[in-house]
Amino acid sequence: MKAFLDTNPGLRSRFSRVVEFPPYTPKELVRIFAHLARQAHYEVDERVLNLVGEHFEVTQQGNAREARKIFEAMLERQAERLAEVDDPTRDQLLWLLPADFPQDIDHNQEYLA
């Protein structure tokens, strides 16, 4: 938003207040990711939470949208993994595993664009 306001010198004067929100910490982003999984009735392997946390530690930035995109990418990878299973069990369908974590994850966040 700051960059947007800086694009035109007169634009900033049109807003009387600026509300700044501190960025989420990596731990908070992991909690957001876990919440999204629970909300969708998925179970998450502890190693997955570690991978998500490592991603946010390396990038030192992130937002809830990025946590959601990682979750959605994992759902796609899980579907691809289970497509090769003839008769997946309920547990297989509900658990997100480290194998589902995006291998092509770009710590510069380009894959999330």
Residue percentage of the chain with pLDDT more than 90: 65
Which residues touch 99 (CB under 8 Å, ≥6 apart)?
77, 81
Long-range contacts of 6-13 (CB under 8 A, 24+ apart): none
Q: Is the pLDDT of residue 85 over 90?
A: yes
Average pLDDT over residues 61-76: 93
The predicted model scores a pTM of 0.79
Where do the structural domains in the chain lie, given as residue ranges?
Answer: 28-112
Of 79 and 113, which is predicted with more confidence? 79
Average pLDDT over residues 35-49: 97
8, 2 contact by CB (below 8 A): no
pLDDT in tens, 6-34: 888 888 888 888 788 888 999 999 999 99
CATH architecture of the domain covering 28-112: Orthogonal Bundle (1.10)
Strands in the chain per DSSP E: 43-44, 95-96
